[in-house]
Amino acid sequence: MKLSTLTAAAVMVAGVAHAEMVAPTKVAFTEDGAVEASLTGKAGDAAKGAEVYGSKKLGNCVACHEITTQDVAFPGNVGPQLDGVADRWNEAELRGILVNSKMTFEGTVMPAYYKVDGFTRPGKAYTGKAADDTFGPLLSAEQIEDVIAFLMTLKEE
């Protein structure tokens, strides 16, 4: 009996997780630009998030941000330092900033990482050619959740 209950529960969790995978066009923002629910229905992996943050091929957040405790060459300073960012923003707010920062900071230069429409002359990555059917968000739902988990570790207080 116990076994089958467990199995049923596991199936249910998987089903729920699937149902909660939020598409880029379906993200619900609060009035202040936060996104309450995890895009994957799960918590992210902070270690993977750190990699997405620092990798030029993935988030390339270091192009504009510095985290002084991170050893990445040539961080940019177009955006603010992210040391202690989890003291300033909660998880839902950070998710909103990542999904579409313009919902939090009007007119910001920070790109929207989970958005697929409303662009002018969208291209196919960095080829200079027009976007084709491979066009997708800059980061996957999972990568976004990983970066959020990583940012949540940046506490100073």
Q: Which residues contact ligand HEC by CB under 6 A?
A: 53, 59-61, 63-65, 78-80, 82, 85, 88, 94, 97-98, 105, 108-111, 113, 147, 151
Which of residues 10, 17, 63, 155 is near another protein by CB under 8 A? 63
> Could you tell me if 143 and 40 are in contact, meaning their C-beta atoms sit under 8 angstroms apart?
no
CA distance 28 to 39: 10
Q: Residue 23 binds which one of ligand HEC, another protein, none, with CB within 5 to 8 A depending on kind?
A: none
Q: In a 10 Å sphere around its CB, with 0-12 CB exposed, 13-18 middle and 19+ buried, how is residue 14 labelled?
A: exposed
CA distance 61 to 52: 8
- 105 interacts with another protein by CB under 8 A: no
Question: Residue 19 or residue 128: which is nearer to another protein going by CB?
Answer: 128
> Could you tell me if 33 and 96 are in contact, meaning their C-beta atoms sit under 8 angstroms apart?
yes
Q: Of the listed pieces 1-9, 13-21, 42-50, 108-116, which binds another protein according to CB under 8 A?
A: 108-116
Tokens of 35: 């996104």
Question: Residue 89 or residue 135: which is nearer to ligand HEC going by CB?
Answer: 89
Which of residues 84, 105, 123, 156 is near another protein by CB under 8 A? 123
Tokens of 56: 């030029």
- 112 interacts with another protein by CB under 8 A: yes
Count interface residues toward another protein (CB under 8 A). 30
Tokens of 111: 């790109």
